[in-house]
Structure 1
Amino acid sequence: MIKILIANHDEFEAKGIQWLIESSISNVTVKVASNLANAITDLENEQPDIFIYEMNIGTDESLVKAIKINEPVIISLTMEATYGAAKKAIDIGTKFLLIKPFSPQELLNNINLIIRDFDRKRKQTEKISIHTLTQEVVYEQLFLAESKQAKPFLFVAFQPEKSSILPILNSFLKDYLFPVSPLIFPLSDMTICLFKDQSHVNWNEICKRFMYDWEHHEQEPICIIINQEKQPELTIHEKYIHTKKMTEVTFFVGYRQVLQFNNKLRWKFIDPFLTPSEQRQWISFLNEGNKEGISQFLSSEFLQFTDSYPDPGLLRIRLTSILAQIRRHMKSANLDQSIYEQEYLELFDTILYEPLIYRIIQKLLIFTSRIIDAVKDTSKNQHLDIIDKCLHYMELNYWKQDLDLSELSSYVGRNSTYLSHLFVEKTKKTFRESLTDLRIKEAKRLLIESDMTIKEIAALIGFQNQHYFSRVFKNSVGKTAKQFRTIESIGNR
């Protein structure tokens, strides 16, 4: 931390300079002395690195002595553009003399030049100690379980949203003036820095200042994760694993912030697959074109986490389960044209690789809305005869337990008796037989492709109870549902 002392009898001017420095330069503390006596006392007690000296405040032997003993870098300020003022400034060892009025940027540039010079000197003197420290921790220890204890080190991860900017970030880290020189370990998706932990350092504030400086240098978002676990028995490898896991929280909270963890991160368990009732709910959402219901479901399930978070990997699997329901809806509505197929594949990749959950949900909502609108347009534009319309409606609604001929007749605007006659005439089957065929077809698929119980499958495809489903299935297929699943499982091995 660079200490700066301002000696100026003009309180407003001094406070203005103090604000300018503190708001523009990181890792500095600024103190103001309003008279010569206070300036001498602060020089002796505070031992500042930089002394900003308003020459009108006066001078005496005590000030000169304090300057010689503590050797701060001096920036002198004066309104007198004279040889006498310049000689007086030189006599006390001034490095930069600024004639009023000067621009704020000129003062900041001089301070930054001094700080960079300090940094170069510090790095030269620390080369030997840093080399020794580097020998203490090497790359292999991050990845090997037998590594040494992590106790002396604070782990801080710098994670960019785009890995392509890591070279720029690494260079910025190497040149940055931290209160303690870090060991820097660039990885493929982040950079891990190890600091010799010092209890008096406020690492949260240091990292916030780094974030501020980085964003003035680059516009690319990063997140900084501070691992302040206190377990002394942790190894370098264990603490690295814990830190890397902490970085995954950015999936939920985003970037451009500093996250601090005092304990090991633990994921909250979730079922990665939709339950039978949730599957029915999604079928209903899609068939009814219920965009609001879909939006509420996705928001409550994926965007309202607070203290504890689920494993992002399980969450991505759960999203693919939803996408599978949308896919089936697309197929049943004959929406597998190339334009929707390509969007579906792109959305699948987004679910797998997008680093932020809210962007996945946003894209999923947009895609689902387009599918619902496309199905409506297709229904309006297709010139299907009455029975084709009925069969299409049954394919979308076979899961309803109360689906009957009267509902179908209302949908197509025809009398139930007349519709029943048309069914037999065109399909050679009654409405009930056609509906049973659709349900049994879906039951076969679920028996082969899922691990759901027979009771769950029966409820999912529209049967009121398992016993009735089992009887209908055996009459239709010639085997019980259990026998069918066993035979198909053996045949697919």
Structure 2
Amino acid sequence: MKLVIAERDDKEREAIRWLVSAYSLPIEQVYTAATVEEMMALLEREAPELLYVELDMIPYEQWGKAASCIRLFCQRVIAATAEATFARAKQAIDWQCVDLLVKPLEPAKLKQALRTAASFSAGDGRSRASVGVGGYDDDYRSLFVDERVDVSTHVWLVQAEQPAFSSEVVRFLTGYPFRRRARVLPLTHMAACLFPELPGDGKEEAWKMLRDWEEDHHEPLAVVIMPPDGRRSVRERYQAARRLLETTFFIGYRQVIAPAPDDGPWRHLDPFLTPEEQRQWIEMLERFDHEAVKRWLQREFSDWTSPFPSPEMVRTRLTSILAQIRRFMKTYRLDRGATEREYMRLFQEILYNPVLYRIVQELILFLHRLLDEARQAAEDARVDAIERGLRYMEAHFRDPSLSLEQAAAAAGRSPAYFSHLLSKKRGVTFRQWLTNRRLEEAKRLLRQTDLSIKEIAEQTGFRTAHYLTRVFKAELNQTPTAYRDEQRSYRSSPR
């Protein structure tokens, strides 16, 4: 097995190389690259089974080219980053990485990731580069290059719900007695089947194969079938099939998925909670209201119909909810121990679980336990007064009459003591925090809406448009209108 290590840091590269040799992994050849160009050249020349890549080394302008090269020439990817952000996690998801490691690297986690990736690759029985007998190279090429238009081939994509079963799926398909000759092409976490001919649209054959699989396997399987349509090439239908395969996030597996007239682009979904939704979550959590939380999640994430939103946008929306939960945990000092570990496990579920309803189920169960713990914490008087006050201020900052006395009462402290705690722990006075939060919301509305300055003032706690303008100029040295024009000009300018 071949491994390419793409890492800018010389010491990191050598340390990983040493770990590979020390762990007795089934890796015979190790290549290293210090730049994106070196990495792409090695991938194209060596077609390795495994790539370790530092995501931070890839500039934005080279991302598309690097991604295409990785998908074409490498079977398994382990990604690493120093930026523990959702953007990096999304990039790892897009590449279907075996694991995403956060620097500084922990040898034990790197060892586990390498062993997992090596076991996947070893189970495949052959690498992409070596599948060249009997015309397989041409078949792979047809998936990625529009050199010829073959409009008569049926294209299937077959995927197990859990990536660990990918090699087993390939073995099953390779030995399966299809009624017509099939080319089985192993891909990352899935397999493509190309049929020069099939009776009808192939749906009956796909369901038969699915039933035969389930006689010996409990792992759910999904099959996307793309019959010939007289117009699109193999590559175009392969790309359409990958897009359809993503709908399993909403509809689950044990499915034969065929193209439908309403298939189209992902529908729009705001991935972030609105201020009103944030307030709802603050209130539900503060009331320890299990049932309200459950109803909200089921209403929001159940009964999806086509056209679906992008799964990545849904995952981002779920992490927005986690942000509210995180603050609630800090308030009740539950961001430690077993609860913290459970929270981090839930975060991984949101990033990687292939089916939405399972994520929602895990989230509901976690919140049920968390709210019980928080209720007990409240009874034990272990609530942080500052966080209670800040939650109240966050929920009511749009009220022009919000006062220090009200926030202090919500925190269970006197106004003078609460003001002292706020200045000591957060470095701001009550009035400074309130002005900054209102300005932050006003800037968001100026960027994202066409509301008038008067309407924005009313929605952000400023008593009049004149007062908003005066505070805006004092803090930002420009008027709200000038700020809006500047932001729109920036968004519309070519990058």
> Scaled by the length of structure 1, what TM-score is found?
0.58
3-state DSSP class of the match of 1:223?
strand
Q: Is the 8 A contact 2:442 2:457 kept in 1?
A: no
390, 408, 417: which one pairs with 1:395?
390
| 1:192 aligned residue | 192
| CA deviation map 1:447-493 (0-9, x unaligned) | 89996789999778766666556667889x7978979x99xx9xxxx
Q: Is the 8 A contact 2:250 2:355 kept in 1?
A: yes
Q: Is the 8 A contact 1:147 1:235 kept in 2?
A: no
Partner AA of 2:392 in structure 1:
N
Partner AA of 1:359 in structure 2:
R
| 1:237 aligned residue | 235
Q: Find out whether 1:175 has 2:170 as its counterpart.
A: no
Provide the rounded CA distance (Å) in 1 between the counterparts of 2:134 and 2:152.
11
Q: Is the 8 A contact 2:140 2:185 kept in 1?
A: yes
Q: Is the 8 A contact 1:439 1:461 kept in 2?
A: no
State the Cα distance separating 1:288 from its structure 2 match. 2.9
State the Cα distance separating 1:157 from its structure 2 match. 1.4
3-state DSSP class of the match of 1:138?
helix
| CA deviation map 1:118-168 (0-9, x unaligned) | xxxxxxxxxxxxx99837942122122x33213110111111112222222
| 2:96 aligned residue | none
State the Cα distance separating 1:404 from its structure 2 match. 6.3
3-state DSSP class of the match of 2:195?
strand
Provide the rounded CA distance (Å) in 1 between the counterparts of 2:258 and 2:476.
63
State the Cα distance separating 1:236 from its structure 2 match. 2.1
| 2:58 aligned residue | none
3-state DSSP class of the match of 2:188?
coil
Number of aligned pairs?
A: 340
Partner AA of 1:234 in structure 2:
R
| 1:134 aligned residue | 135
Change (3 A) 1:479 1:397: farther
Q: Find out whether 1:423 has 2:415 as its counterpart.
A: yes
Q: Find out whether 1:248 has 2:246 as its counterpart.
A: yes
State the Cα distance separating 1:291 from its structure 2 match. 2.9
Q: Find out whether 1:155 has 2:155 as its counterpart.
A: yes
| CA deviation map 1:144-197 (0-9, x unaligned) | 2x3321311011111111222222222222222222111111111111111123
Provide the rounded CA distance (Å) in 1 between the counterparts of 2:336 and 2:329.
9
| CA deviation map 1:82-140 (0-9, x unaligned) | xxxxxxxxxxxxxxxxxxxxxxxxxxxxxxxxxxxxxxxxxxxxxxxxx9983794212
State the Cα distance separating 1:358 from its structure 2 match. 0.7
Change (3 A) 1:282 1:455: farther
State the Cα distance separating 1:208 from its structure 2 match. 1.4
Unaligned runs of 5+ in 1: 1-130, 414-418
Provide the rounded CA distance (Å) in 2 between the counterparts of 1:321 and 1:459.
26
Partner AA of 1:152 in structure 2:
S
* Worse overlay, 187-196 or 272-281: 272-281
Partner AA of 1:244 in structure 2:
R
Q: Is the 8 A contact 2:136 2:183 kept in 1?
A: no
Provide the rounded CA distance (Å) in 2 between the counterparts of 1:425 and 1:327.
26
| Pairwise CA RMSD | 4.2
Change (3 A) 1:245 1:315: same
Provide the rounded CA distance (Å) in 2 between the counterparts of 1:348 and 1:194.
37
Q: Find out whether 1:306 has 2:305 as its counterpart.
A: yes
434, 439, 443: which one pairs with 2:434?
439
| 1:362 aligned residue | 361
Provide the rounded CA distance (Å) in 1 between the counterparts of 2:420 and 2:158.
68
Larger radius of gyration: 1
3-state DSSP class of the match of 1:177?
coil
Q: Is the 8 A contact 1:276 1:456 kept in 2?
A: no
Partner AA of 2:391 in structure 1:
L
Provide the rounded CA distance (Å) in 1 between the counterparts of 2:152 and 2:138.
11
Q: Find out whether 1:324 has 2:323 as its counterpart.
A: yes
Provide the rounded CA distance (Å) in 1 between the counterparts of 2:137 and 2:240.
20
| 1:95 aligned residue | none
Aligned positions of 1:264-279 closer than 5 A:
265-279=264-278
Partner AA of 1:314 in structure 2:
M
Q: Is the 8 A contact 1:154 1:195 kept in 2?
A: yes
| 1:166 aligned residue | 166
Question: Identity of aligned pairs, percent?
Answer: 31
Q: Is the 8 A contact 1:221 1:256 kept in 2?
A: yes
| 1:294 aligned residue | 293
3-state DSSP class of the match of 2:258?
strand
Provide the rounded CA distance (Å) in 2 between the counterparts of 1:406 and 1:440.
16
Change (3 A) 1:152 1:411: closer
Provide the rounded CA distance (Å) in 2 between the counterparts of 1:191 and 1:222.
11
State the Cα distance separating 1:247 from its structure 2 match. 0.8
3-state DSSP class of the match of 1:191?
strand
> Scaled by the length of structure 2, what TM-score is found?
0.58
| 2:256 aligned residue | 258
Change (3 A) 1:291 1:474: farther
Q: Is the 8 A contact 1:395 1:438 kept in 2?
A: no
Provide the rounded CA distance (Å) in 2 between the counterparts of 1:168 and 1:458.
61
State the Cα distance separating 1:321 from its structure 2 match. 1.6
| 2:209 aligned residue | 210
Provide the rounded CA distance (Å) in 1 between the counterparts of 2:464 and 2:282.
20
3-state DSSP class of the match of 1:261?
coil
Change (3 A) 1:409 1:311: closer
State the Cα distance separating 1:271 from its structure 2 match. 1.7
Provide the rounded CA distance (Å) in 2 between the counterparts of 1:190 and 1:478.
52
Provide the rounded CA distance (Å) in 1 between the counterparts of 2:161 and 2:420.
60
State the Cα distance separating 1:368 from its structure 2 match. 2.8
| CA deviation map 1:56-83 (0-9, x unaligned) | xxxxxxxxxxxxxxxxxxxxxxxxxxxx
Q: Is the 8 A contact 1:156 1:224 kept in 2?
A: yes
Q: Is the 8 A contact 1:222 1:255 kept in 2?
A: yes
* Worse overlay, 443-452 or 240-249: 443-452
Partner AA of 1:423 in structure 2:
P
Q: Is the 8 A contact 1:147 1:237 kept in 2?
A: no
Q: Is the 8 A contact 2:155 2:226 kept in 1?
A: yes
| 1:220 aligned residue | 219
